[in-house]
Amino acid sequence: METLINLAGAVALLLWGIRTVRTGVERLFGSQIETHIAVLTGRRLSAFGLGAGAAMALQSGTAVILMAASFSAGGVLALPAAIAAALGAEVGSALAVTILNLDIALLAPLLLFVGFVTFSSASGRGQKHVGRITLGLAFILTALQLLSAATASLSESAAAAQIIQVLSAEPLALVLMTALFTWMVHSSIAIVLMIATLVAAGGLPHDGGLWMVIGANAGAALPALIAGWTIGGRARQLLAGAVFLRLCGVALGALVLATPALASLQIVEFAASHVVIAHLALNLTVGLVMLPFVATVARIVEAALPLPPAPANGAERAAENIFLAPEDVARPETAFLNIANETSRVAHMVYEMIGGISDLFRDPEADQRIKSLEEDVDQLYRQVTLYMASIKLDELDEDARQRWFELFEFITHLEHVGDIITHNIVNLARRKRKSGIEFSREGAHELEALTLELSDIFRHAQAVFLSRDPHRARELVAAKRRFREHTLQSQRRHAFRLSSGVKSSVSTSRIHLDLLRELQRINSHLTAVAYPLLKDPAGEPLTH
The 3-class secondary structure across 265-326, one letter per residue, is CHHHHHHHHCHHHHHHHHHHHHHHHHHHHHHHHHHHHHHHCCCCCCCCCCCCCCCCCCCCCH
pLDDT at 314: 43
The pLDDT tens digits of the residues spanning 203-259 come to: 677 778 888 889 888 888 887 788 777 766 778 888 888 889 888 888 888 888 777
List all residues 6 or more positions away from 123 whose beta carbon is below 8 Å from its beta carbon. none
Rounded to 5 degrees, what angle do the CA atoms 277, 280, 286 make? 140
Average confidence (pLDDT) over 142-155: 67
pLDDT at 315: 43
How many angstroms separate the CA atoms of 102 and 96, rounded? 10
Rounded to 5 degrees, what angle do the CA atoms 350, 391, 344 make? 20
pLDDT at 261: 65
Cβ atoms of residues 286 and 61 within 8 Å: no
| DSSP-derived 3-state class of residue 106 | coil
pLDDT at 318: 47
Cβ atoms of residues 197 and 147 within 8 Å: yes
pLDDT at 132: 86
Of residues 482 and 40, the one with the higher pLDDT is: 482
pLDDT at 267: 59
The pLDDT tens digits of the residues spanning 44-72 come to: 788 888 888 888 877 778 878 877 787 77
Cβ atoms of residues 100 and 108 within 8 Å: no
| Dihedral sign of CA atoms 15, 20, 26, 29 in order | negative
Q: Residues of the chain with pLDDT > 90: what percent?
A: 12
The pLDDT tens digits of the residues spanning 417-442 come to: 999 999 899 989 888 888 888 888 89
Average confidence (pLDDT) over 278-304: 89
Average confidence (pLDDT) over 371-380: 87
Of residues 477 and 158, the one with the higher pLDDT is: 477
User: Of 174, 170, 260, 193, nearest to 10 (Cα)?
Assistant: 193
538 pLDDT higher than 70: no
pLDDT at 477: 92
Average confidence (pLDDT) over 109-125: 84
Read off the pLDDT band of 466 (50, 70, 90): confident
pLDDT at 219: 87
Cβ atoms of residues 329 and 41 within 8 Å: yes
How many angstroms separate the CA atoms of 326 and 319, rounded? 17
pLDDT at 192: 85
pLDDT at 539: 55
Read off the pLDDT band of 308 (50, 70, 90): low
pLDDT at 350: 92
List all residues 6 or more positions away from 133 whose beta carbon is below 8 Å from its beta carbon. 20, 21, 24, 25, 28, 115
Average confidence (pLDDT) over 171-198: 81
pLDDT at 458: 92
> Of the ranges 80-84, 148-152, 468-472, 527-531, which one carries the lowest mean pLDDT score?
148-152
User: Of 371, 326, 308, 320, nearest to 346 (Cα)?
Assistant: 320
The pLDDT tens digits of the residues spanning 1-38 come to: 676 677 778 778 877 877 787 777 767 765 556 555 65
CATH class of the domain comprising 327-533:
mainly alpha
Global pTM value: 0.59
Read off the pLDDT band of 450 (50, 70, 90): very high
* Domain range list for the chain: 2-304, 327-533
Read off the pLDDT band of 379 (50, 70, 90): confident
How many angstroms separate the CA atoms of 94 and 58, rounded? 12
pLDDT at 313: 44
pLDDT at 176: 87
Average pLDDT, the chain: 81
**End-to-end Cα spacing for the chain:** 73
> Of the ranges 69-73, 365-369, 412-416, which one carries the lowest mean pLDDT score?
69-73
How many angstroms separate the CA atoms of 342 and 128, rounded? 38
Considering 177-181, 197-201, 204-208, 222-226, the range whose residues carry the highest mean pLDDT is: 177-181
Q: Please provide residue 126's backbone torsions phi and psi, each rounded to the nearest 5 degrees.
A: -60, -45
pLDDT at 312: 46
Of residues 181 and 185, the one with the higher pLDDT is: 181
How many angstroms separate the CA atoms of 460 and 472, rounded? 8
pLDDT at 519: 93
Of residues 222 and 145, the one with the higher pLDDT is: 222
How many angstroms separate the CA atoms of 350 and 417, rounded? 7
Cβ atoms of residues 440 and 510 within 8 Å: no
